[in-house]
Amino acid sequence: MANAAAPRTVFLRDELTAVLGASGVYALRMLGLYMALPIMSTWAAGLPGATPFLVGLSLGAYGLTQAIFQVPAGLLGDVRGRRLVILGSLLVFAIGCGIVAVAPSIHFVVLGRLVQGVGAMASTLIALIGDVTREQVRTRAMALMGGVLGVAFAGGFLIGPLVSSKAGVPAVFALAAVLSIVGGILFELLVPRRLVPGVRAASAARGTQPTPWSWAEARSLLHDRSLLVLDSGIAALHAALTGLFVVLPFVLADFLKPLELWKVYAPVLACGLAAMVWGSQQADKKARTRLVLRTGAFTLSLGMLGLAAFHTTFWGTVISLGLFVVGFAMIEPTLASLVTRFTGRTARGTAAGLFNMSQFGGAFVGGALAGLLMPFGRGVAFATLGAVTLLWAFALAWLRNPEDIGDVTIDAPDLDGESWKALREKLVSHPAVLEAEWNGALIVIRHWKRLVSRDDLSELVRRR
């Protein structure tokens, strides 16, 4: 009863438990990934067989297999449940870390990074948080996960150089493998099964009929212009981020020793965390969501273009990097939240899979592109990636307004189970319908109000 009485804008206890538990487990895995970012490109450049392209590929290869497996992982989570995907992904990631830890050449590093990426769990985590949180707090839930990951990001940038200076870079990847296994154990302990139920149990808890995954609903995701804007945005962001960390370690090496990198990363990440908190609070107000995205997109583009122009100076590099991180932190949790707002529960994992496929595909392209362009000059790589993010900033004009989403309830007393399956297939394939559920007497339809009216939906139900 305490949960039911809580204010709409405050996290419920179960929401907070699920979000913090899942975020903490993901942060342990990502800590292992982030520990390698500030040191990996300079280490990989000294391995047998290394070339600038293979160095960039060693960072981006993780994104390639992540991109390939995000949709299957998200779909599997929709069909078989989120828990199975999360635990399996943590195990596979640990195996990939182990391969990199014993790699004798750059080619084995690339192989290990490819295996790491097969453990694709990001789409499942986004869908899980979308399942367990209300829309009013969902952006803040994504930001809370982002904040926990931000702490892991900062910790990785401090711990990675320290561990590598004491025990070598392979030890960083061995530690990452251990952290991933520990994460799997903690997920079982921290996130109760009642909060991450199977598909049928989740429907029973909501008092609705089980709604199977359908190809019609999945295909409709590919035609939603707002989802396409979100997918292209996360691709541009992570192309820029991965490309940045192919080139930036070489830039900072001109000014600082490895154990001094915290002097740059600590204040920059603190600014990013503050921007994430502010941006998520503003983006939860539907009228301001698109403003937050535009502000963040132009800020990070300015930062990347600033790196292109001023990377030969210390303060020019620091200020430009700060602008990039602030813009990135404002945008990323908002994009993830909108994916869950713009999709229904039964297709949420699939939509998140497409979203994260775009994210890690962008990471792969960004890493490889930066490696190819770096021989032409560090500024060339920064400028190219900045142009990509700037183009997406203008593409935000095609993003629909979250204020246009509404719910209608339609009486359907004579509907039976078989008729509902056919009707739901027709409803969810409609370009204006986001979700449809039936509790045995009433149909609840979530839709874009400007694209279809209540009368139109009632007529569609009547003509079933």
How many domains are there within the chain? Answer: 2
Based on its alpha-carbon atoms, the radius of gyration of the chain, rounded to whole angstroms, reads 22
Same domain, 272 and 413: no
Count Cβ neighbours within 10 Å for each residue of 29-64 and write b for 16 or more, e otherwise.
bbbbbbbbbbbbbbbbbebeebebbbbbbbbbbbbb
Residues 441 and 301 both lie in one domain? no
The predicted structure's pLDDT at residue 211: 55
In this structure, how many other beta carbons lie within 10 angstroms of the beta carbon of residue 126? 27
Helix (H), strand (E) at residue 438: strand 433-438
- Copy the structure tokens of residue 54: 């293979």
Percent of the chain with pLDDT over 90: 22
The answer on pLDDT for 3 being more than 50 is no
Give the pLDDT confidence score for residue 203 in this predicted structure. Answer: 47
Q: Are residues 451 and 353 part of one domain?
A: no
Quote the pTM value. Answer: 0.71
Choosing from 398, 423, 445, the residue where a domain stops is 398
- Of 371, 398, 425, which residue is a domain's last? 398
Mean pLDDT of the 208-225 span: 61
Do 63 and 157 fall into the same domain? yes
Tell whether 226 and 109 lie within a shared domain. yes
Same domain flag for 170 and 290: yes
d(CA 83, CA 219): 25
Q: Are residues 384 and 408 in the same domain?
A: no
C-alpha span between 459 and 194 (Å, rounded):
38
Query: Are 266 and 309 members of one domain?
Result: yes
Among 330, 237, 34, which Cα is nearest to 153's? 34
DSSP letter for each residue of 206-254: HTS------HHHHHHHTT-HHHHHHHHHHHHHHHHHHHHHHHHHHHHHT
- The pair of three-digit structure tokens given for residue 4, joined into one six-digit string: 């039911």
Q: 81 in the Ramachandran plot: left (φ > 0), alpha (ψ -120 to 50) or beta? A: left
Residue 438 to residue 170: CA distance in whole angstroms: 54
Provide the CATH number for the domain around residue 411. 3.30.70
Please tell me which residue, 310 or 201, carries the higher pLDDT value: 310
Place of tokens 């979000």: 19
At residue 9 the predicted structure's pLDDT band, cuts being 50, 70 and 90, is low
- Residue 429 and residue 292 share a domain: no
391 and 408 in a common domain: no
* pLDDT, tens only, 92-146: 999 999 999 998 999 999 999 999 989 888 778 877 887 777 767 776 777 777 7
Q: Are residues 336 and 357 in the same domain?
A: yes
Return the CATH number at 13.
1.20.1250.20
Based on the fold, state whether residues 285 and 413 are members of the same structural domain: no
Mean pLDDT, range 339-348, rounded to an integer: 73
Classify residue 278 by burial, with Cβ atoms within 10 Å: 0-12, 13-18, 19+.
middle
| Structural domain range at position 456 | 404-462
Is pLDDT larger for residue 232 or for residue 127?
A: 232
* pLDDT at residue 76 is higher than 60: yes
Last residue of a domain, one of 380, 398, 416: 398
